[in-house]
Amino acid sequence: MMCPGEIYKTLGAPCEGQYKEKGSRFLSFGFHVSTEEEIRMQLGAMKKKFYDARHICYAYRLGPAGEPWRANDNGEPSSTAGKPILGQLLSHDLSDVLLVVVRYFGGIKLGTGGLVNAYRTAAGNALEHASVIEKRVLETMLLQYNYDQTDKIMKAVHDTQALVVSQSFMEGPLPCRLTVRVPPSGKQTLLSSLEPT
């Protein structure tokens, strides 16, 4: 059974949206990302694809707790683009997500309130069409044990809903090795299963 904080929401697939205001077009794109390197690559691809856009603003949150995070206005007045985009990630409780809004200027200035609304709406439109999935928070553990502990260990793996990554056997005092990915609430159960009976 999962405990609170052991599941987080992210995107299951890329998503898109758009918004138009006074001639300006705001194109929005959401991507599942796991690292800052993936973010840099995705932003580089967006800058190449939309090389003629006036602004490419974005926000992201990484990891189950949504940290690190960043919001970027890309030349728009301070806090009028990145912050509203980040606000959409927060209001949808999403992490491991990069949300980008590309602006093509239409010739009419929107003012700070208009910009905030446009970026927020465009970002929200992408997320309205998003496929949101839940992911489990898992930590990797390496268990070393004797053959006679195998049944007890495997029961603990099953009970904690851990995922077996690898299993090996070798010579030595603790010949069995099992690498698992386990929810934080199951770590102690697995460690207890290693204790001699």
**What are 54-105's pLDDT values in tens digits?**
999 999 999 888 889 999 999 999 999 999 999 999 999 999 999 999 999 9
Output the average pLDDT for the chain.
92
Q: 127: domain range? A: 7-135
124 and 163 together in one domain: no
The Cβ of residue 173 has, within 10 Å, a number of other Cβ atoms equal to: 6
Going from the C-alpha of 186 to that of each of 41, 156, 163, the distances in angstroms are 35, 8, 11
- pLDDT tier, 5 (very low <50, low <70, confident <90, very high otherwise): low
Q: Is residue 2 part of a domain?
A: no
Please give the residue that has the higher pLDDT: either 4 or 21.
21
* Spatial contact of 53 and 104, defined as CB atoms under 8 Å apart: yes
55 and 152 together in one domain: no
In this structure, the chain runs to a length of 197
- Identify residue 125 by its one-letter amino acid code: N
Share of the chain above pLDDT 90, in %: 65
Mean pLDDT of the 16-42 span = 96
Mean pLDDT of the 157-179 span = 89
92-121 burial: b if 16+ Cβ within 10 Å, else e: bebbbbbbbbbbeeeeeebeeeebbbbbbb
Please state whether the predicted TM-score (pTM) of the whole model is above 0.85.
Answer: no
First to last CA, the chain: 25
Please tell me the total count of domains within the chain.
2
pLDDT tens digits, 177-188: 999 998 888 888
- Does the pLDDT of residue 4 top 60, yes or no? no
Rounded to 10°, the helix 82-91/111-128 angle is: 40
Residue 116 — φ and ψ, nearest 5°?
-55, -50
- Does the pLDDT of residue 2 top 60, yes or no? no
156 and 118 together in one domain: no
Q: Is residue 40 part of a domain?
A: yes
The CA distance from 78 to 88, in Å, is 17
The CA distance from 143 to 56, in Å, is 47
The CA distance from 94 to 63, in Å, is 10
116 and 142 together in one domain: no
pLDDT tens digits, 116-139: 999 999 999 999 989 999 998 888
